[in-house]
Structure 1
């Protein structure tokens, strides 16, 4: 009798792998002050986070192509193995530079986990069930955002910061065993066409220069170096397109860019993911800097969004079977718009509970929208391109987040600088850093607190107003979608 995939155990493995990579960001953030104290190197500390995201994004489309070419299982196992190796090196790092290199290796492995996990879900679940499973998978991110800081603090205080990385090793090894034994893939026809190495290399250079340029914008504003990196991005992009036109088996088939549905849902995903980053970063900043709450409460305000995201995904599952993709996205984006507009009209001294309400509204909208764009991207291509389509969707969201978090940072700093200059306060701009940190805000003279909080409030408004523009742009794009039910989208 032919062996079959154990769907329940493989799904458990996919959820665990997603959680393992999702928690890296929050757990490392919590441990970073201790790590810096141990390894020193504060001036290059940001690269511990940036390099992980950069290598993750660069390899995502390559893994997607490999998943279609050689199978989901080997690519997923390779990604987890590299992630385990990177985690081990992180735990053993004797200095900050070594830790950054190890984090780059970790990111290379993590780049396979999310897109291939979503592709495995697409393989083992029919469309009508897929949105529910994607919702549960998304819940792993929500749990990680709440559990990560708690786990990070506990591990650092008890067995030491090294174990925030070492703990990935036994989990990763268990995942290797689980997926190896219980995921059974049909044999694929061997292809004589070689991997598109030149196209893969050029695509990685496009992503490297693009993401680095926006990283530098976020850190120090515009400069000549940024223009140079953006120019290189355009050159590499043109070379990539030229190479893909000639490639026998391109890493990303250019015909996908002619698929109207595929491109529109990915653009929507990129815009909404950009707005999502603004929510995740600046709602906690509002609570801590404007209302003076603790960091824990600031992070907790996002918990309802994670929970309601899952419910929104479940609702998307039933709606996609009854109505058109266009209608589902209009509903989801309209709910996000209501939540976003709420953030632009509430006053300075907004009660904390209102942020929990707004977070809940946004969670439903994000669950509906992100899940629908993912399922539609998968369903709008042929079955032999699902891996590439899923990785491209993941990449679109990553690029949207990276670009917008840099732009939001520039907007916030510019708005605060202008308002500080126009105020009668005799303070340096560095006082705003002191204000948003709950541990140092109490050092600011009481008479300055309220004026500074008003300045921060105005800066945050510029961020959320820009977020509204993103949502409106996404809504405008959805209007160009054809009115087809999800099941009738070409596959």
Structure 2
């Protein structure tokens, strides 16, 4: 008797895999002060996070193409294996540079897990059910944002920071066993088409130079190195387009960009991904710097966003059964727009409970948007391009987040510098860093505290004003999307 995929166990495995990669960010953040103290590398600490995102983004579209070409299972298993190897090397690291290299290897593995997981969900479920299970999958990120800091603190205090990485090994082994045995894919016919090596390499160069350029732009501002990286991005992009036009089997078919729905949903994913960074990074800063609250409260305010994200995903599934993708996207964007407006008009002394309300409203809208863009990207392409479409959608979100976190940082620093000069309060270049840390803020003179909080408030308002523009552009774009019919709900 021919074996069939055990849908339930494969789905659970996908959720666990997503949770494993999601919690990596929050658990490492919690453990980082201890890691830095142990490995002595505070100057290059940011690269522990940056290199993970960089290698993740670079490989995502390549994995998507391979998932379509050779199957989901081998690509997913390879990603989990590399993630486990990277985790082991992180745990055994004896200095900061070794840890950064190991985190890069971890990112190479993680680049396969998320997009291929969503592709497998796309294979297993009809559109209406797909949206619901993507919602469950997204809930892993919400649970990780709450559970990660608690788990990180407990592990560091008991068995040591190395085990935040070693814990991935037994989970990864169990995942590989479950997917290997219970996911049954039809045998792939071996293709004679050549692998698009030049297109793959040039695409990775585009992403490498672009993300590094924005990383350095945020750290150093405009410099010779930053300009050189941007020029490298343009050159690599031209090489990529040239390669794809001539490739027998391109890594990303350029015809996809003639599909209006595919283009719009990915632009929306990128822009709203950027807006999300304004929420994740700067609401905790508002809580701590402007309101003078603890870091725990800053994180707690974001908990409703993660929890209600899942509700938004379920709403997206219901709405897509009754409405077109443009209308569902428009509805989600309106919800997020309301949350964004609340931040723009929030007074300086607003009670933190208002931020909980905004976090809740925004979470519902984000759940609707990101689920709809994922399903929209998948349903706008033929089944044989499902992996490429899903991975590109994941990449669009990552690019939006990476670019906008740098842009927001530049805006914030510019406003802070300008206002400090105008008010001539202090010559201390580190004063704003001391303000946003609740421990050091207590040491600031009382006569400085109020004007400094006003300066930080002005910078945050600039961030959220630009954030509103990131929502208005997608709202306009939804009117240019094609599709007057609902998404077809048959199983692929």
Give yes or no for TM over 0.5: yes
CA distance in 1 between counterparts of 2:152 and 2:400 reads 28
Q: Which residue of 2 aligns with 1:464?
A: 464
Report deviation, 1:486.
Answer: 3.6
Q: Which residue of 2 aligns with 1:150?
A: 150
CA distance in 1 between counterparts of 2:420 and 2:485 reads 52
Q: Which residue of 1 aligns with 2:433?
A: 433
Structure 2 length-normalised TM: 0.98
Mapped contact 2:126–2:489 kept (Cα < 8 A)? no
Structure 1 length-normalised TM: 0.98
Mapped contact 1:335–1:365 kept (Cα < 8 A)? yes
CA distance in 2 between counterparts of 1:454 and 1:269 reads 33
Mapped contact 1:417–1:429 kept (Cα < 8 A)? no
Which segments of 5 or more consecutive residues in structure 2 lack a partner in the other structure?
none
Matches within 5 A, 1:53-452: 53-452=53-452
Report deviation, 1:246.
Answer: 0.8
Report deviation, 1:427.
Answer: 4.1
Report deviation, 1:489.
Answer: 10
Report deviation, 1:226.
Answer: 1.0
SS at 2:252's partner residue? coil
Mapped contact 1:84–1:169 kept (Cα < 8 A)? yes
Q: Which residue of 2 aligns with 1:485?
A: 485
CA distance in 2 between counterparts of 1:95 and 1:133 reads 41
Report deviation, 1:4.
Answer: 1.1
CA distance in 2 between counterparts of 1:20 and 1:421 reads 46
Mapped contact 1:321–1:485 kept (Cα < 8 A)? no
CA distance in 2 between counterparts of 1:214 and 1:250 reads 27
CA distance in 2 between counterparts of 1:432 and 1:420 reads 10
Report deviation, 1:488.
Answer: 4.8
Q: Which residue of 1 aligns with 2:11?
A: 11
CA distance in 2 between counterparts of 1:483 and 1:201 reads 35
- Number of positions where the alignment pairs a residue of Structure 1 with one of Structure 2: 491
Q: Which runs of 4+ in 1 moved over 4 A?
A: 488-491
SS at 2:347's partner residue? coil
Q: Give the alignment's Cα RMSD to 1 decimal.
A: 1.2
SS at 1:487's partner residue? coil
Report deviation, 1:485.
Answer: 3.0
CA distance in 2 between counterparts of 1:333 and 1:285 reads 24
Alpha-carbon deviations, 1:231-263, whole Å to 9, x = none?
A: 110111011111111111110011111111100
Compared CA separation, residues 489 and 261, structure 1 to 2 (3 A): farther
SS at 2:484's partner residue? coil
Mean Cα deviation higher: 181-190 or 460-469: 181-190
SS at 1:245's partner residue? helix
Mapped contact 1:380–1:489 kept (Cα < 8 A)? no
Alpha-carbon deviations, 1:323-360, whole Å to 9, x = none?
A: 11111111110111110000011111111111110000
Report deviation, 1:173.
Answer: 0.6
Mapped contact 1:320–1:328 kept (Cα < 8 A)? yes
Report deviation, 1:439.
Answer: 2.1
CA distance in 2 between counterparts of 1:203 and 1:77 reads 23
Mapped contact 2:55–2:107 kept (Cα < 8 A)? yes
CA distance in 1 between counterparts of 2:32 and 2:95 reads 13
Alpha-carbon deviations, 1:207-252, whole Å to 9, x = none?
A: 0000000000111211121111111101110111111111111100
CA distance in 1 between counterparts of 2:427 and 2:102 reads 40
